[in-house]
Amino acid sequence: MSLYEKIVNKEEKISLIGLGYVGMPIAVAFARKVNVIGFDVSDSKIELYQNGIDPTKEVGNEVIKNTTIEFTSDETKIKEAKFHIVAVPTPVNNDHTPDLTPVQSASRTLGRNLTKGSIVVFESTVYPGVTEEICVPILESESGLKCGVDFKVGYSPERINPGDKVHRLETIIKVVAGQDKKSLDEISKVYELVVEAGVYKAQSIKVAEAAKVIENSQRDINIAFMNELSIIFDKMDIDTKAVLEAAGTKWNFLNFSPGLVGGHCIGVDPYYLTYKAEQLGYHSQIILSGRKINDDMGKYVAESTVKKMIKANKQINGAKVAIFGVTFKENCPDVRNTKVIDVIKELEEYGVEVKVVDPQADKEDLWREYGINLCEVEDIKEMDAVIFAVPHDEFKGIQLVDVKMMFGVTGYVNSEVMKEVAATSEFDITIDSKDCVLMDLKGLFNREEAEDTGFVYWRL
């Protein structure tokens, strides 16, 4: 009987090593069909899952409460499984070189608890060669077993899009690779249990690793092009969004838009590829140029904000600026590698006091990573500028009259939230609309309406 058949018959288990934004949804999907052990080194995270709380917001508390996953931070429980999926982060160091510490640590933990006949599949995004040249030797050293004889390895790059309820594990074609034909067949069958869209069998593990790393590199380059266009058109006093809408009427024009590129994928993965290229004697030109543009966008946004504030006759040192949205993308609590932090730090360099509002952000992660405390909408009063950085759904109901209230403007108020603010406000002053600087990075508001209302308006 094959390992796949034993898993289906619940004679063997699947283990998930790493229960973050990627690992946890995978574990939940498999648990609907087979027995799953969910392992994470974080005791606090495991405790949340055991109490039916989903800190990632990827599947929701109700799903976590009802899942059959055996959540644990006891690494010895891994021995009970024969099919292992490693889904840990692969960040970069401050010098943009790959930080393989998490995947190496996970390999050591798994290696200590690896048994004969197992299959290990890595999902972490890496440069080609990491699985076989770095992870396998660790697994062998820690387990005393021989790869290809006592256990097999494979690679299946994660394609989960945090915060996206449409493109999910089940609906995205899964690329899979194995070290030989037999392991590839087993890995494919296991993933086909949960991936409704089907699997694509890559030629080799290195091909699968390369495919993943270029997916995000391609997107990074395209967004960098949009960001560069935004900088150029701003100097020409042309609205970038209007240009893209016009150009988008052509059937083969790619639908990308300018913005802050952060997160643990697009803002990181290209550095893995260029690092490997450097080792082989090739210095990337296009990829690194795109990265530089995107890495500098936070500073560009902050400088543009200061310029608009000067135009509105604001005193910069001591000014108050509110930023709506601090996560790396909309409708997601993840704050890892968010480029909104670059905007905040740059504004603080000018002596600006920054207040941050974000109903989605993980408060504990935000404080631990950046030392930032969140504010409520009710706390945003008498601002000198307001920046809408991340288009969370919660912000789409805010209207221009509501934004005026944030500057201290009284009068007609439309939304229920801002009516409450007006009712409890201690000030009763009217500020001329031309003093209201609105930085609308992703175009949440209508530009003409904002300018007609008198806002000093700017967007990427």
Q: Which one, of 111, 50, 39, 28, lies nearest residue 75 by Cα?
A: 39
> What is the set of active-site residues?
265
Give every CB contact of residue 439 below 8 A, 6+ residues apart in sequence: 301, 304, 305, 308, 385, 386, 387, 388, 458, 459
Residues forming beta bridges with residue 121, ordered by sequence position: 85, 154
Report residue 401 as tokens: 């009259």
Residue 289: CB atoms within 10 A of its CB come to 13
Is there a contact between 17 and 85 (Cβ–Cβ < 8 Å)? Answer: yes
Q: Give every strand in the sheet of 13-17, ordered side by side.
A: 70-72, 36-39, 13-17, 81-86, 118-122, 151-155, 174-178, 199-201
* Assigned token pair, 449: 């309406």
Q: What is the sign, positive or negative, of the torsion defined by CA atoms of 75, 79, 80, 84? A: positive
Nearest to 16 by CA among 60, 78, 66, 62: 78
